């Protein structure tokens, strides 16, 4: 088969199969003719995939969850930190494994930085729409279940002491699963909901005093994937 493809100018074939629900994924997981299954998604589903593929002695590549953080030091270029934080949190409507979930701000810049974000977020509504449009910055959530997870997450955030500085609502009167990008303050850095990946545009903002302190907070979540540090001081990188 490979020789036939190469003789006709094909080196590789990519097949995309779209489905509604888990049937297609389960078929791949159970099929002994698929020796390797690569899965990107939630930890819960990834655990199921790994167990099922292992039962038939197959192999897996799993990219599961992310609870990504940025640390903003007072010596950094605040303009770069601001633009990077906003786009990291709201780009792809928070549906990226490397989306920014937790923003740690030094106490000396916290108030002004958060105030600027709260003023900037309403402007994003004008850039909300079809993700295939180059002018769109915030698209819809993937499906209705994602909206429910977002709204349930917001409710749980409030129950655990968080304050919604902006957002926390579904966008009414639109066709599609649009929600407002959300900024949360006042919640504990180790609150149970903070330890959970909601996979939606919800950003927690925290105030810290020392770099050692905030690195500990950065590393306390069960998920991994990505972290970033905004600073001009090379000593902060070691």
Q: Which of 63, 107, 213, 220 is catalytic?
A: 63
Residue 2's pLDDT is what?
A: 59
Is 49 within 8 Å of 59 (Cβ atoms)? no
Give the residue-averaged pLDDT of 10-35: 84
Give the mean pLDDT of the chain: 92
Q: Which residue has the tokens 């974000």?
A: 117
**Separation between Cα atoms, residue 208 and residue 110, nearest integer Å:** 9
* Residue 190 confidence class, pLDDT cut points 50, 70, 90: very high
63 in catalytic set: yes
Q: Which domains does the chain have, with CATH numbers?
A: 2-64 (no CATH), 68-237 (3.40.309.10)
Give every CB contact of residue 40 below 8 A, 6+ residues apart in sequence: 62, 63, 64, 97
Per residue in 85-94, pLDDT (tens digit) is 999 999 999 9
Q: Which of 52, 97, 125, 156 is catalytic?
A: 97
DSSP 8-state secondary structure symbol assigned to residue 22: S
Residue 54's pLDDT is what?
A: 96
Per residue in 104-114, pLDDT (tens digit) is 999 999 999 99
97 in catalytic set: yes
């Amino acid at each position: 088969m490979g020789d036939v493809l190469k003789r006709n100018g094909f080196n590789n074939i990519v097949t995309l199969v779209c489905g509604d629900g888990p049937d297609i994924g389960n078929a791949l997981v159970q099929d002994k003719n698929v020796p390797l299954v690569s899965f990107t998604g939630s930890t819960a589903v990834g655990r199921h995939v790994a167990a099922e593929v292992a039962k038939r002695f197959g192999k897996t590549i799993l990219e599961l969850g992310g609870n990504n953080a940025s640390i903003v030091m007072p010596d950094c270029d605040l303009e770069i930190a601001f633009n990077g934080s906003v786009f990291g949190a709201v780009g792809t409507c928070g549906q990226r494994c490397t989306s920014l979930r937790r923003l740690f701000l030094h106490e000396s810049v916290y108030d002004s930085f958060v105030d600027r974000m709260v003023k900037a977020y309403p402007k994003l509504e004008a850039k909300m729409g079809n993700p295939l449009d180059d002018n769109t910055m915030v698209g819809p959530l993937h499906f209705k279940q994602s909206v429910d997870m977002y709204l349930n997450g917001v409710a749980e955030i409030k129950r655990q002491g968080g304050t919604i500085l902006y957002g926390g609502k579904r966008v009414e009167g639109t066709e599609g699963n649009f929600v407002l990008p959300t900024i949360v303050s006042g919640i504990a850095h180790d609150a149970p909901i903070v330890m959970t990946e909601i996979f939606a545009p919800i950003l927690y903002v925290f105030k810290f005093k020392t770099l050692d302190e905030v690195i500990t907070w950065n590393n306390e979540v069960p998920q991994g994937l990505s972290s970033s540090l905004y600073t001009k001081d090379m000593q902060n990188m070691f």
